A and B are shown apart, each in its own frame.
Chain A
Amino acid sequence: MARISYRLPPLPISVLVVSLLFYQSAGLNSEGQYLLDIKSRIGDTYNHLSNWNPNDSTPCGWKGVDCTSDYNPVVWCLDLSSMNLSGSLSPSLGGLVHLTLLNLSFNALSQNIPGEIGNCSSLEFLYLNNNHFESQIPVELARLSCLTALNIANNRISGPFPDQIGNLSSLSLLIAYSNNITGPLPASLGNLKRLRTFRAGQNLISGSLPSEIGGCESLEYLGLAQNQLSGEIPKEIGMLQNLTDLILLSNQISGPIPMELSNCTYLRTLALYDNKLVGPIPKELGNLECLKRLYLYRNKLNGTIPREIGNLSSALEIDFSENELTGEIPIELKNIAGLSLLYIFENKLTGVIPAELTTLENMTKLDLSTNYLTGTIPVGFQHLKHLIMLQLFGYIPSGVQHCKPLVQLHLAVNGLGGSFPSDLCKLANLSSLELDQNTFTGLIPTEIGQCHALQRLHLSGNYFTSELPKEIGKLSQLVFFNVSTNSLTGVIPAEIFSCKMLQRLDLTRNHFVGALPGEIGALSQLEILKLSENQLSENIPVEVGKLSRLTDLQMGGNSFSGEIPAELGGISSLQITLNLSYNNLTGPIPAELGNLVLLEFLLLNDNHLSGEIPGAFDKLSSLLGCNFSNNDLTGPLPSLPLFQKTSISSFLGNKGLCGGPLGNCNESPQLSSHPSDTKGTSVRLGKIIAIISAVIGGISLILIIVIIHFMRRPVDMVAPLQDTPPSSLVSDIYFSPKDGFTFQDLVVATENFDDSFILGRGACGTVYKAVLRCG
């Protein structure tokens, strides 16, 4: 873009030509030098400024640089926005005295804005926003009398606005949000007659809004949200005839809402929420015919909602919630035809919900909850086609304490809040109080001890905190006590065990610590005991075993340590579940747990239990599910069919469990059908039998070898018949003569032991047949 510089004085053209010829051989001009100096302090990762060549005579062709297009071109525009530039801004900037537009926004430039910028006396538009500039706004900046737009938003600028800022008489746009600007707003701001937009939200600005602000007669948008403004809103604010948006939310502004605001007839958005404003809502606000959004919530406003609010014919959103407004909801609100959002929750409104509200056809969100409204909910709400939210919940009205005959008060699953209504214990007949699943907060008060008739107390699913009061022990009739899913802390008070009638005690999902007192054994009527998901520690007291009516015992998800007491096996009524999982229990699983013949679910996983699963668990005939995973257990699973059918995930993470889904154990097979009460005996017996069998087998084998050996030798020792004459045989044989025959008779009968009389040969000799005469 070319512009004619107005500073060049008119000269004869000849002089000009001579000057040009004279100087054409000179180097880069001074503005170029300044720019090079600026470049030298800038980090240019992507080489955007690569064409900033020192050999050029002027910088006018350089990227981001614009010059005028007359005889003596000067830099009027420097736009280096969004170039990933880092580093600092050189004071040489001050040399660019012809600069009207300087845009360095959306980079990563840091350190301070040089005061030399005050020399850029032509500057009209200064955009330094979205960088990392720090330190203070230089006082010299205030010399820029031509400056119309100043944007330093999203930097790290600290310190206050300089008092001299009022000298920026041309300033129309002052944008400084998201910095660390401190200190009070200078009164001189009121001198900025041309200021239309002033946005300085998200800073650390303190002090009060100066009354001089009324001098900013052009002001349309005033945004000072999220600062530390204090003091009051000056009534001079009403002087701002052009004001369209007043955004003062999230400050510490106190005092009343000035009724002079009603003079700002063009006001469209009034956001004063999250401050400390007091006093009433001025009825004059109803005059603001252009007002579309009125946000006064989270203050300390009191008084009634003025009927005149119904005159806000342009209103789309009205939010008066979280104040201390009293009185009734004015029916005049029905006149705001375009009203889409109406929030008046958390006030002290009384009276009924006007049926006229049902004519507001554009209503999308209506929240009147947590007031003291009475009467019925108008049926007409059902015709509001665009309604997406309707909230009408509240507190328990304190009048309930007068309902003397009240026996049962069941308010579960509502949106009730506030603290526990201790007045309820004035109801002498109250036997059942159910407040579960609401949003009650605070502590359970000591007054609870006065509810003498109370048998059922259900407080689960709220936000109760602090410790259980000792006075709980005074509730001698208490049978059901459920405070699960709250944020209760401290130890379980020993006094609770004075409630001897307790059948069901549920403390699940709180932050209870310490040990479970042995006095638990005194609760002889207890059927259900649920303590899961707390931080209870130390040993499980053996007295739990005395709870002879217990059907359900849930202690998982705590820090219980030590061993599982064998006494738990004495709870013969235990049927629903025995859950000791996710604790720090050590030692063996007591075999006595096998006596729990009614037990359906046994969960011991995620502890440090060791040893074997007792064989006695074969007696758990009612078991439907179990989990022993993540322990240090070894040995075979019991033979109970349930263990064989249970998924392997119930046993994983142990030392050496085997059997069932884990695969066969290496023990002798017949042992699994002989359940024995003492662990290890069956293993040892198997080993003994194996050894004996081996020994017997070995000895037998040796004997067989020896016998075979001996059988072979006599065969070799028998002399062959041909070698030895019969006579030597006769002389070697001796036998005692029998009656009736002599040896001589034998010699004759066998013809001197002739071969024809041989019957056979054996190891002991040769057998001859001799027939002897009788006689």
Chain B
Amino acid sequence: MAHLYLLSVFLSLLLSISPSLSSNSEGNALHALRSRLSDPTNALQSWDPALVNPCTWFHVVCDSNSHVTRLDLGNSNISGTLGPELGQLKHLKYLELYRNDIGGKIPKELGNLKNLVSMDMYGNKFEGEIPKSFAKLKSLIFLRLNNNKLSGSIPRELTTLKELKVFDVSNNDLCGTIPVDGPFASFPMESFVNNRLNGPELKGLVPYDFGC
């Protein structure tokens, strides 16, 4: 009798975790993301982890090797938070999460997305700092984090992102100075307005994190 009981407990445990036991790590990552998000319009309804890969899921685009390259969830009434698992999407090029109600901190694991070309998370409720790990996003061309509640300073490490063409952090709570090196030399002032920034950094005279 006890054996039967143990067996049924084991089996039910197995069944409860089996939906996430797909052999596809990218599908698992996205499924974990879904469990953190609240999705009243059912944009993520098709995200079925029992499928062999997430390439048939709506709002997901894969390349010819069945690796996720685009996540198109802009304007989808999504709330909740992001988690570290998004960083596992090693082939992701476009992360489009703009104009939703996502809050919490931006996970530093997003810095692992070494193929990322565009990160659009503007128009959400993200708080905390811009992760320094974003300096690892060597392919990044577009970084739009404007209209959130981000605080802290703009990581100086971001000046190493040679491909960065568009950088918008306007309408946040950022402080400190604006980097002037590398791609930051060409960003217009509109990219930084409505923060608590102290203007461009004065090299050699003022310590970088002054007043922040």
Q: Which residues of A come within 8 Å of B, CB atoms?
A: 408, 432, 455-456, 479-480, 503, 527, 548-549, 551, 573, 575, 598, 621-622, 624, 641
A455 near B141: Cβ-Cβ < 8 Å: no
B96 near A575: Cβ-Cβ < 8 Å: yes
Prevailing SS type, chain A contact patch? loop
A527 near B165: Cβ-Cβ < 8 Å: no
B58 near A598: Cβ-Cβ < 8 Å: no
Q: Closest residue of chain B to A621, judged by CB?
A: B166
Q: Closest residue of chain B to A549, judged by CB?
A: B75
Distance between Cα atoms of A549 and B41 in the complex (Å): 14
Contacts of A573 in B (CB 8 A): 74-75
Contacts of B120 in A (CB 8 A): 598
Least CB distance, B142 to chain A, in whole angstroms? 6
B109 within 8 A of A: no
A503 near B58: Cβ-Cβ < 8 Å: yes
A621 near B56: Cβ-Cβ < 8 Å: no
B46 within 8 A of A: yes
B165 near A456: Cβ-Cβ < 8 Å: no
Q: Given contacts A455-B46, A456-B56, are A621 and B165 in contact (CB under 8 A)?
A: yes
Q: Given contacts A598-B120, A621-B166, A622-B142, are A432 and B56 in contact (CB under 8 A)?
A: yes
Chain B interface residue number, banded: 10 to 19
Least CB distance, A459 to chain B, in whole angstroms? 15
B127 within 8 A of A: no
Q: Closest residue of chain B to A573, judged by CB?
A: B74
Distance between Cα atoms of A23 and B59 in the complex (Å): 110
Q: Closest residue of chain A to B76, judged by CB?
A: A549
Among the listed B51, B96, B166, which residue makes an inter-chain contact with A622, where contact means beta carbons less than 8 Å apart?
B166
Contacts of A551 in B (CB 8 A): 72, 96
Distance between Cα atoms of A551 and B56 in the complex (Å): 18
Least CB distance, A597 to chain B, in whole angstroms? 9
Contacts of A624 in B (CB 8 A): 141, 165
What are 29 A-B contacts with C-beta separation under 8 Å?
A408-B51, A408-B56, A432-B56, A455-B46, A456-B56, A479-B46, A479-B58, A480-B58, A503-B58, A503-B59, A527-B59, A527-B72, A548-B75, A549-B74, A549-B75, A551-B72, A551-B96, A573-B74, A575-B94, A575-B96, A598-B120, A621-B165, A621-B166, A622-B142, A622-B165, A622-B166, A624-B141, A624-B165, A641-B186
Least CB distance, A645 to chain B, in whole angstroms? 11
Distance between Cα atoms of A548 and B120 in the complex (Å): 17
Least CB distance, A760 to chain B, in whole angstroms? 63
Contacts of A432 in B (CB 8 A): 56
Contacts of A549 in B (CB 8 A): 74-75
Q: Which residues of B come within 8 Å of A, CB atoms?
A: 46, 51, 56, 58-59, 72, 74-75, 94, 96, 118, 120, 141-142, 165-166, 186
Distance between Cα atoms of A408 and B142 in the complex (Å): 37
What number of A-B contacts does a CB cutoff of 8 Å give? 31
Contacts of B186 in A (CB 8 A): 641
Contacts of A480 in B (CB 8 A): 58
Q: What are the nearest 7 A-B pairs in CB distance?
A: A621-B166, A622-B166, A479-B58, A622-B142, A432-B56, A503-B58, A527-B72
Least CB distance, A291 to chain B, in whole angstroms? 49
Most A C-beta atoms less than 10 A away, residue of B58, B75, B142, B186: B58
Distance between Cα atoms of A432 and B46 in the complex (Å): 11
Q: Closest residue of chain B to A410, judged by CB?
A: B56
Least CB distance, A503 to chain B, in whole angstroms? 6
Q: Closest residue of chain B to A434, judged by CB?
A: B56
Contacts of A408 in B (CB 8 A): 51, 56
Contacts of B96 in A (CB 8 A): 551, 575
Contacts of A598 in B (CB 8 A): 120
Distance between Cα atoms of A503 and B74 in the complex (Å): 14
Least CB distance, A528 to chain B, in whole angstroms? 9
Q: Closest residue of chain B to A432, judged by CB?
A: B56
Q: Besides A456-B56, A551-B96, 14 other CB < 8 A contacts?
A: A408-B51, A432-B56, A455-B46, A479-B46, A480-B58, A503-B59, A527-B59, A548-B75, A573-B75, A621-B166, A622-B142, A622-B166, A624-B165, A641-B186
Least CB distance, A429 to chain B, in whole angstroms? 13
Distance between Cα atoms of A182 and B74 in the complex (Å): 75
Contacts of B94 in A (CB 8 A): 575
Contacts of B141 in A (CB 8 A): 624
Distance between Cα atoms of A548 and B94 in the complex (Å): 19
Contacts of A621 in B (CB 8 A): 165-166
Q: Closest residue of chain B to A597, judged by CB?
A: B166
Distance between Cα atoms of A456 and B51 in the complex (Å): 14
Distance between Cα atoms of A621 and B120 in the complex (Å): 14
Contacts of A622 in B (CB 8 A): 142, 165-166
Distance between Cα atoms of A213 and B208 in the complex (Å): 107
Contacts of B58 in A (CB 8 A): 479-480, 503
Distance between Cα atoms of A408 and B50 in the complex (Å): 12
Distance between Cα atoms of A479 and B75 in the complex (Å): 18
Distance between Cα atoms of A77 and B189 in the complex (Å): 104
Q: Closest residue of chain A to B190, judged by CB?
A: A621
Contacts of A548 in B (CB 8 A): 75
Most B C-beta atoms less than 10 A away, residue of A432, A455, A621, A622: A621
Distance between Cα atoms of A598 and B75 in the complex (Å): 14
Least CB distance, A481 to chain B, in whole angstroms? 13
Distance between Cα atoms of A480 and B59 in the complex (Å): 11
Contacts of B165 in A (CB 8 A): 621-622, 624
Contacts of B72 in A (CB 8 A): 527, 551
Least CB distance, A196 to chain B, in whole angstroms? 62
Distance between Cα atoms of A249 and B94 in the complex (Å): 60
Distance between Cα atoms of A549 and B73 in the complex (Å): 10
Q: Closest residue of chain A to B142, judged by CB?
A: A622
Distance between Cα atoms of A551 and B58 in the complex (Å): 14
Contacts of B51 in A (CB 8 A): 408
Distance between Cα atoms of A104 and B94 in the complex (Å): 78
